[in-house]
Each structure stands twice: as C-alpha cells, then as structure tokens.
Structure 1
Amino acid sequence: MPQTMDAEAVRTWCSLALEALGREREAIDAINVYPVADGDTGTNLYLTVESAARAVEAVFAAHETGRTAPPPGDVVHAMAHGALLGARGNSGTILAQLLRGMAERTGAGAGLADALQRAADLAREAVAHPVEGTILTVAAAAARAARAAGTGAEPAAPAETALAAWEGARAALDATPDQLAVLGRAGVVDAGGRGLLTVLGALVETLTGRAPSPAGGPPERRRPQAPAPAGGACGPDGGPAFEVLYLLEAGDAAVARLRTRLDTLGDSLVVVGGDGLWNVHVHVDDAGAAVEAGIEAGRPHRIRITHLATAAPPAREQAQRAVVAVVPGDGLPALCAEAGATTVPSRPGEPPASGELVEAVRRAHAREVVLLPNDPALHHTAAAAAEQARAEGVRVALIPTRSPVQGLAALAVHEPGRSFDEDVVAMTAAAGATRHAELAVAESRSWTSAGVCQAGDVLGLIDGDVAVIGADLADTARAVLDRMLSSGGELVTLVLGDRTPDGLPGLLEAHVREGYLAVDTVVHEGGGDAPLLIGVE
C-alpha cells in the first residue's frame, strides 16, 4: 500500500473518490438543505471530482512511457485544475479550492497535514461570508486532527494522518446540526461536509488499503428540531432566484472588485482559483447582472445558470414542467434562464456530453421536460440523454432545434399552464417556423454550395448551407436578410457575438425598417464565436 502521495496515489485517490461519490450521490442529494435545498450537492461533488479524475488520466495518457509515472507535481496540479474547470454548485466550488490548497503544498513536497491545513485556509478565504456547520467547518476539523496526529517525536505517516483527518471530519460532521439551525430543523448533517468526508474516506483507502468502517459513519438524519418561528427558516423560498456559475479569465485586482460587486447582488458567493483563472459561484435574482459583472472583470465562459425555483428538493413536490436548453456564448444563458429554462453551455470544440444534459434534466427536477439542443450536431447526444432521463421516470420531449434562435422562438411560446403535448406542439411549431442563419469567416479556401470561398471571406449560412459569400460583414448580413425575408416574415431576431462590430446592429435594424415595413427587429447580446446569428419568424 502507498505511504506517500505520489502520482499513482493521487490517481487512485481520484478514482476511489469518484466511485464513492457515485455510490453516495443520491444519499447526499437527499440531505441537501443548505445553502439552498435544491437536492444536488452529491451530484455536484461527483461531477467536480469526475472532472479532476479526467484531468489526472489525461496527464498519465500524455506521459511518454508506461514504465514510469508522470511527476507527482504534474498530477496533483492536474487534479486541482480539473476540479476548478469542472466545479459545480456551492460545495463543488469549495471542494475545488480545497484540492487547490492541497496541490500547492503536496506539489512543493510538504506533508499531508500541512496540505490539509492549507486547503482549509484557502477554502475559507474563498467564501464571502463563511458559515459554521458547513463543509468549511468539516475541512477545518480534518486539518486540526491531521496536525494533532503528528505532534509526537516522529511525524505521523501519511496513512495515519489521513485516518486522523477522516476521524476529525466525521466528528465535526456529526456536530453540524448543532451549529446550523436549518440542519437541526431538518434533522440532517451538512451535505457538503458529508461529501468531503466521502472524499477523505477515499484518501484513507488509498493510503491504507482499507476504507473506513461504514459502521463508524456519520448519521444521515437526526430527530428534527421544533420548527423555527415564522420568518426564520432558510431555503429557496424568498431567496435568490438563480444560481450563476462561470469560469473567468481575469487578474487579481479585477477579481477583488468582482467579489465586492457580486456580494451586493446576491449570496452564497464563492470565488476560487488563481493565476488568471477563476471559478465564480453566486446566487442572485438578476442573473444578467452577475454575468455582466464577470464581463467587466475579464472573460467569463462556461456560463451555467440554474433557475433555483425549478430545482425543488427531493423532499418537496417536483415541478410539473421545465425546459432544458443548450446555449452558446455569454449572454444567451442569462436570457434563457430569465425565461425559466435550465441552461447547458456549449463551447467551440467542447459540446456538452449526454451526461451533462441528463444532469441538467435532474437539476430541473420536473416531471416533464422539454429539451432544446439548438444544434443539429447535438441531436444524437440529446436523444441519448432523453432516453436516460425517461428511464429515470421523467417525461421528456426532444424538440430538434437547429439553432439558438429557434430555441428562443420555442421558449417565447412556452406555456406551462397548458397540457404537455399542446405545449410541445406549440414550441415545435414556433421553432420550425423560424428560419435561421449564421455569419462566419472562412478559415481557408474551400468549395461551398454558393461557390468557392477564400480565407477571410464572410460566409452567410442559411438553414445550415452557405448561401452568400461576401467580403464585408455588413453587406453579407444585409444580403442574408434579403434572402430570408423574400419569402415573408414578421420578426427578425439578431443575436450578437463577441466579434460583432458595434455599429452593425443599428445598420441591420435600419435595413429591415426601411425595406420591410411590417417586420419588427429584436437584438440580443449573445456572445460566442459567431459574429452574428439571425432568426426570421
């Protein structure tokens, strides 16, 4: 059995932690009542560790020979970086920071006790308003117990230190209902702390070859305390409407200003990371403002916005219906979330996997879900996700939207009050009645359905096929609009990308207004690589 945190030990730890969280995910979800009772803490922790494990495996795969392991520093930093990239939810974001703290110390050759202490300190610093009785408390107790294990004449071996940390965390977790009133009223321990104990248990198994005894595990539920007086309860009722997460490329000074700004917008603020890359998590009522604050600070991407009102805890009644939409860019997630949708980000070269779509369906926590892939390349992925969700008892309708503008059209007519079939038919009809176009810049000389294009040419794609080749973005956009409106239309939707020239929306609005009197135009800030998306209804 390994006695040090070498590369193979880190790899084994990630694998065992992922297996353990997979087994306990539903149990942890079921006791999730703080900071929002949305029943997804176990799932978020699992997805965070899954991302860390993938990053570790990528380091091993890139290593030149199978006879030796990659450098331990490379592996432990890959683990932390992978967790940062894939962190989900409040507890997942904090866990990513805990792993970052451990990576700082173990990568520099420090002992496990020192690494656990740095992890606990760094995680507490990342939370805007630390609360006792949470994963932070459990992490601090684990660090104290690890340090105490090495106070003798000889420092404790890593295996002994890990076991001491687990035992300290277990005792602290058992005490969380006495520290946080909402836990005591629900009769549960903290879900994030329970997840951290699971991760530490995997570390013990890695270093000792034996998992901690289940008989010594923490109680999942206690006898609930008497209800708090009216107005004293915590939970999603009366709290912020949206959970917003994004990765942010920004400097330290900009992130410091961002923390202050987001702290005024909402709660559950956690900002983790460093060295120019950060993971931002906050609960707010104004999702758009939270994203805009990130844009002011630097470059936000992988934006995830969840409507907390649709993410009811398992103990409560499920929502009747929800919409899950795949959306690119930085602005569209906020727009779709304000319309009540649970969003899944789509990034160039990194389309969402079926597992991410299934997880979004679970987050929506509804009996009926309408799934909008908004990309023809995602139809098979979305179909696989729909089948898996149906196997879990969710009624899912997949509307084969081919563009985000078709998804917006479908969302505009979504009406939860009518029957599921009627709603799906109306949304499908609205999407099908919306022609879609995209402007792109050719990267090389090639043949297209409109002729030969050269590198740097502006391409106007209508319904997926190149219809116009031009040299100027504005001229090509006008030509595309004329072709689309030649067969009629009532509404033009323009979704602007990161590279859309400032004056282009005004030029196109004027073009439509002057040439097509009965046609209205709406403009949305979408972000993303495409200079312009166009929809005509």
Structure 2
Amino acid sequence: MQTKIAANAQAMKRWLSKAETTLGNHSDRLNAINIFPVADGDTGTNLYLTARAAARAADPAQPDVGAVLAQAGQAAMEQARGNSGTLFAVFLCAAAEPLAGHTRISSPLLAAALNRAQLRAWSALSDPVPGTMLSVMEAAARAVAAVDSAHDGDDSNQTLGLALDAAVEAALAAVVHTEDQLAALHAAHVVDAGGVGMLLILDCLRSAVLGEELQSELLDGLHGYDVQDPHIHVGMPRDDGVELMCTISLSPLDAAMMRQRLDEMGDSVIMSQVGGAVDAAGHYRWRVHVHVLDAEPAVALIRSLGEPTDISVSELALPRDPETEAAVTAAAVAPVLAAETRNPDGYAR
C-alpha cells in the first residue's frame, strides 16, 4: 500500500492547490464541451476561478481538517462563478461539516463528508438534473460508503486508500454515463463538462492524500475531450438572458420566498447558506444564483427582501469565436499556468 498517505490539514491544502492547477490546465477543454444547462462555454473557467478562491483561503497551519475546508468553502462560496463553481463551493462547505474537530480523514469520515456534500449540492438547486456533476458527486459518495461498509468502519490508511480509489473509479463511470442521461449531451456526443471537472477534483483529492501522481490516462476516451475535438458549443443556439449572482442575509422564510419567486422568473436557481452563523435578527447569509431573461426584475425582488452584496450580472450569450474564447480563458488562467512551469503537476495536455 502507499507509504506517503497524509490525510491531514496540509493534505487538504495540497488538494485544493492541485485542483486549482489541474482545472486551470483543463479549462479550455472543459469550456469546449460545456453545453448544459446553457451552451455558454465557461464551465472550465468558472471551476478554475472558484477553486482558486478556495485554495488561496485554505490555511494549512490550522490542524482541524474541517476548519480548513470550511474556510476554503466559504471563500469559494463568496467568489463562486457559474452553476458549476457554485455547486463546487456548496460541496466544499458541506463536506467540511462532518470533518469538524478532526485532524485526520479516515474512510468513515470521508464517507460522511462526501454523502453530506452530495446531498447538500442536490438540495441547493431548485431543479436538480441527473447527468451533471451532481450525479458524479453522488456516485463517488456511494462508492466510498460501500468501501466503508465492507470494511466495517475501519479507519486505517489502507482502507482510506481503497475508498479514494473507489471514489475516482465511480466518478469516472458516472461521467461516461452522463452522455446517455441528457439529450443535449447525447446529441452532441459529449460528456458533461461539470461532471469531468468534478472527476478531476476528486482525482486531485486522491493524489494529495495518497502521495501519488494524478492519473494521466484518466480522461482518455471521453467523448469530446480530445485536444483536436472542436468547441462543441460554438454551433449551438445562442442562449438569451443573463446570469445573476449575489450574497444576501435573509430569514428562512424570506429565503424560501425568494427561491419560489426566482423559480417563477427564471431557471438554474441555486441558493445555499454561506457559513452556518445566524445574526441577531435571525438571518443567515445566502449565496444566490439564477438565470433570467432580464436582470432588473430579479434584482428588484432581491432588494425588496434584503441588502445584497457582490452582485454580478453576466450575459449567457458569450462570444462564439473559439479564438476569442481561448484568449479570455488564457487571461483567466495565466497565473496558474505560470505556476505550472515551476511545479508541473496535473494532466498537461
């Protein structure tokens, strides 16, 4: 079995740093196959920028594994980009909860963390859809739970290694299956971009904890993912509307009302708490994400219920020129690619 296993807070920092680098390296390919829920070609960039926020916030000097991930998750939530980035931030925040107070991850704790994370991610969406990164999260969680059950809750490093191997294997199978779960993916003959991103994140976790290299052949054969494959979304119909995101403090009742109203106005509604603290007025902080045709009515609704911060509005119909998109992506990931020349790690393609 591996001799370099380290499942402590330092390993969590390494995980997030590896994820930042790897998603940066893969952002162009992930963008190229991004056609669901909208063909806007930004999943790779959004995941990379969200992972970067998480990695830079993680403090490895903190011995509590849960505290490190909670800190990283909150930073990711505050700076989350797009559907995929928001769901990854939700994943991190939720995974941190069962790990609070622990200085080491074991197979039972990993099973609890991944299960909490996938449940929270599914519930954050008003209309969750199988065949996306949600299915990949769920498959990984189920695989780790099966390993934990088969080994009667053994907390050894050996069982943890088996659990991490199983998580990545199940995640890969789930990614392959996405093509048959969503009609848009099946028609375009590609797998889900967010699902591939989640697979990469999980393999980074495996690598960081086990002290092994990333699996260089992991993505071989995934439809649409070869370097020579075209940017699939370029030929797709342009999507009208905007993506609106913000952070706001709301009571549970107002949060429920906002979700209902946003569901009526648009789609891709994601609402998740930022941290678990409640203020003196009984309000929790929420990260809000929605796709709407017109931002003005949605912003008016949000302002009627509270005082939003970090409001961002971006067009869903991004430029469809692959050269333009490549230039935008390159500008976004330049810092991590520069770092890659100093620390070559992660699926360079």
Tell me whether the two structures share a fold, i.e. TM-score over 0.5.
Answer: yes
Equivalent of 1:55 in 45, 54, 57: 57
Cα 1:15–1:46 change in 2 (3 A) is same
Contact map agreement 1:165 1:200 (CA 8 A) in 2 = yes
Check the 8 A contact 1:166/1:201 in 2, yes or no.
yes
Structure 1 residues 216, 200: closer, same or farther in 2, change over 3 A?
same
Which residue of 2 is the match for residue 408 of structure 1?
A: none
CA distances 1:30-62 after superposition (whole Å, capped 9, x unpaired): 110111111110000000011111111xx35xx
Query: Contact 2:6/2:211 (CA < 8 Å) preserved in 1?
Result: no
Match of 2:266 in 1: 266
Instruction: Quote how far apart the aligned CAs of 1:247 are.
Output: 1.6
SS of 1:214 mapped into structure 2? coil
Give deviations 1:350-382, integer Å, cap 9, x for gaps: xxxxxxxxx9x838x9xxxxxxxxxxxxxxxxx
Describe the shift of the 1:49–1:161 C-alpha distance in structure 2 as closer, same or farther (beyond 3 A).
same
Deviation at 1:291, TM superposition (A): 1.5
Match in the other structure for 1:297? 305
- How does 1:228-377 map onto structure 2 within 5 Å? 237=238, 239-274=239-274, 275=276, 276-309=284-317, 311-313=318-320, 362=328
Q: 1:3 to 1:47 in 2, by over 3 A?
A: same
Q: For residue 181 of structure 2, what is the aligned residue in structure 1? A: 179
Q: Which of 69, 74, 80 is 2:73 aligned to? A: 80
Instruction: Determine helix, strand or coil for the equivalent of 1:151.
Output: helix
The letter of the residue matching 1:289 is: P
List 4+ stretches of structure 1 deviating above 4 A. 1-4
Q: Percent identity between the aligned chains? A: 38
Task: Report the CA distance shift for 1:314/1:101 in structure 2 as closer, same or farther (over 3 A).
Answer: farther
> What pairs with 1:383-422 in structure 2 (closer than 5 Å)?
none
The alpha-carbon deviation at position 160 of structure 1 amounts to 2.0
Q: Is the 8 A contact 2:6 2:210 kept in 1?
A: no
C-alpha distance in 1, partners of 2:207/2:320? 32
Structure with larger Rg = 1
SS in 1 for 2:191: coil
Displacement after TM superposition at 1:236 (Å)? 5.5
Shift of 1:132: 1.1
In structure 2, how many angstroms separate the alpha carbons of the residues matched to 1:240 and 1:6? 45
Mark the runs of 5 or more structure 1 residues left unpaired by the alignment.
64-68, 224-233, 320-358, 366-384, 389-537
TM-score normalised by length of structure 2: 0.80
**Which TM-score applies when normalising by structure 1?**
0.53
Alignment deviations for residues 146-173 of structure 1 (CA, whole Å, 9 cap, x no partner): 1111222443632221221111010000
Q: Distance in 2 between matches of 1:94 and 1:81?
A: 12
The answer to which structure, 1 or 2, has the higher relative contact order (CA under 8 A, 6+ apart) is 2
Unaligned runs of 5+ in 2: 103-107, 226-234, 277-283, 335-349
Q: Which amino acid aligns with 1:244?
A: L
Structure 2 Cα separation of the partners of residues 269 and 2 of structure 1: 42
Please tell me the root mean square deviation across aligned C-alpha atoms, in Å. 2.7
Tell me the CA shift for residue 213 of structure 1: 2.5
Please identify which structure carries the higher helix content.
Answer: 2
Mark the CA change 1:314 to 1:184 in structure 2 (over 3 Å): closer, same or farther.
Answer: farther
Equivalent residue number for residue 166 of structure 2? 164
Q: How many equivalent pairs are there? A: 305
Residue 116 of structure 2: SS of its match in structure 1? Answer: helix
Match of 1:113 in 2: 111
Determine which of 182, 200, 203 is the counterpart of 1:201: 203
Q: State how far apart, in whole Å, the 1-side matches of 2:168 and 2:101 are.
A: 23
- Could you say what secondary structure the match of 2:167 adopts? helix
CA distance in 2, matches of 1:45, 1:192: 8
